[in-house]
Amino acid sequence: MTVATILKHKGYSVSTIAPAATVPEVAIMLAERRIGAVLVIDQEEQMLGIVSERDIVRCLAANGARMLEMTAGQLMTRAVQVAHPGTTVNEAMQLMTAGRFRHLPVVDHDTLVGLISIGDVVKARIMQQDTVVESLTAYVAGSA
Q: Residue 10 contacts by C-beta under 8 Å, 6 or more apart in sequence? A: 114, 116, 120
**Mode of pairing for the β-strands spanning 37-41 and 16-17:** parallel
53-96 tens-digit pLDDT: 999 999 999 999 999 999 999 999 999 999 999 999 999 999 99
So what's the pLDDT on residue 126? 86
CATH topology of domain 3-143: CBS-domain (3.10.580)
Give the Cα-Cα-Cα angle 71, 77, 83 (nearest 5 degrees): 135
Model pTM score? 0.85
Smallest Cα–Cα separation from 111: which of 136, 89, 139, 82? 82
Domain limits, the chain: 3-143
Distance (Å, rounded) from C-alpha 31 to C-alpha 90?
29
23 in Cβ contact with 67 (< 8 Å)? yes
Averaged over 108-118, what is the pLDDT?
94
Per-residue pLDDT band at 38 (split at 50, 70, 90): very high
